[in-house]
Amino acid sequence: MTEIKTVAVAGAGTMGAGIAIVAARAGFDTIVFDVSDDNLEQSRVQTEKFFARSVERGKLDPQDVDQILARFTRTSDLKDLASADIVIEAVFEELSVKQDLFGRLNDICSASTIFASNTSTISITEIAAGSGRDPQVVGMHFCLPAQLMKLVEMSPGMNTDPAMFTKAWEFCEALGQIPVKTQDSPGFILNYFLVPYNNDVIRLIEAGVAAPADIDAAIKTGMGYKMGPCELLDLIGLDTQVLLCDAFYRVTHDPRATVPPLLRRMVAAGRLGRKSGRGFFEYEGGAMFGA
Q: Which of 60, 211, 235, 262 binds another protein (CB under 8 A)?
A: 211
**Structural contact between residues 26 and 50, judged by C-beta atoms closer than 8 angstroms:** no
| Residue 120 falls in the annotated catalytic set | yes
Q: Which of 70, 87, 61, 91 is nearest to 24 (CA)?
A: 70
β-strand pairing of 86-89 with 6-10: parallel
Work out whether 100 is an interface residue with another protein (CB under 8 A). Answer: no
Interaction residues for another protein, span 56-75 (CB under 8 A): none
Interaction residues for another protein, span 245-264 (CB under 8 A): 256
Q: What is the DSSP string of 49-76?
A: HHHHHHHHTTSS-HHHHHHHHHTEEEES
What are the E-state strand segments in the chain?
6-10, 29-33, 72-75, 86-89, 114-117, 137-142, 151-156, 178-181, 282-284, 287-289
* Options 9-17, 21-29, 112-120, 220-228: segment touching another protein (CB under 8 A): 220-228
SS3 147: coil
The total number of residues shown for the chain amounts to: 291
Residue 215 has a CB neighbour count (10 Å cut-off) of 20
Work out whether 273 is an interface residue with another protein (CB under 8 A). Answer: no
Work out whether 234 is an interface residue with another protein (CB under 8 A). Answer: no
Which residue type occupies 132? Answer: G
**Structural contact between residues 122 and 101, judged by C-beta atoms closer than 8 angstroms:** no
Distances (CA, A) of 23 to 2, 44, 117, 154, 243: 13, 14, 15, 16, 28
Distances (CA, A) of 132 to 42, 263, 280: 32, 40, 45
* Options 72-80, 122-130, 163-171, 203-211: segment touching another protein (CB under 8 A): 203-211
Tell me whether residue 112 or residue 183 sits nearer to another protein (CB atom).
183
Q: Which of 73, 95, 51, 90 is nearest to 6 (CA)?
A: 73
Size of the site for another protein (CB under 8 A): 42
237 φ, ψ to 5°? 100, 125
Q: How far apart are CA 50 and CA 137, in angstroms?
A: 30
**Residue 244 beta carbon to another protein: minimum distance, rounded to whole angstroms:** 14
* Options 37-45, 48-56, 97-105, 226-234: segment touching another protein (CB under 8 A): 226-234
Q: Which of 85, 89, 153, 234 binds another protein (CB under 8 A)?
A: 153
Q: Which of 153, 198, 199, 231 is catalytic?
A: 153
**Structural contact between residues 113 and 131, judged by C-beta atoms closer than 8 angstroms:** no
**Residue 248 beta carbon to another protein: minimum distance, rounded to whole angstroms:** 13
**Residue 201 beta carbon to another protein: minimum distance, rounded to whole angstroms:** 6
Q: Which of 43, 54, 117, 191 is catalytic?
A: 191
Q: Which of 51, 171, 192, 280 binds another protein (CB under 8 A)?
A: 192
Q: Which of 52, 158, 209, 288 binds another protein (CB under 8 A)?
A: 209
**Residue 192 beta carbon to another protein: minimum distance, rounded to whole angstroms:** 7
Tell me whether residue 204 or residue 245 sits nearer to another protein (CB atom).
204
| Residue 141 falls in the annotated catalytic set | yes
Tell me whether residue 15 or residue 65 sits nearer to another protein (CB atom).
15
Q: Which of 43, 54, 120, 198 is catalytic?
A: 120
Q: Where do contacts with another protein occur on this chain (CB under 8 A)?
A: 143, 149-151, 153, 178, 180-183, 185, 189-190, 192-194, 196-197, 200-201, 204, 207-211, 214-215, 217-227, 229, 232, 256
Active-site residues, by number, are 120, 141, 153, 191
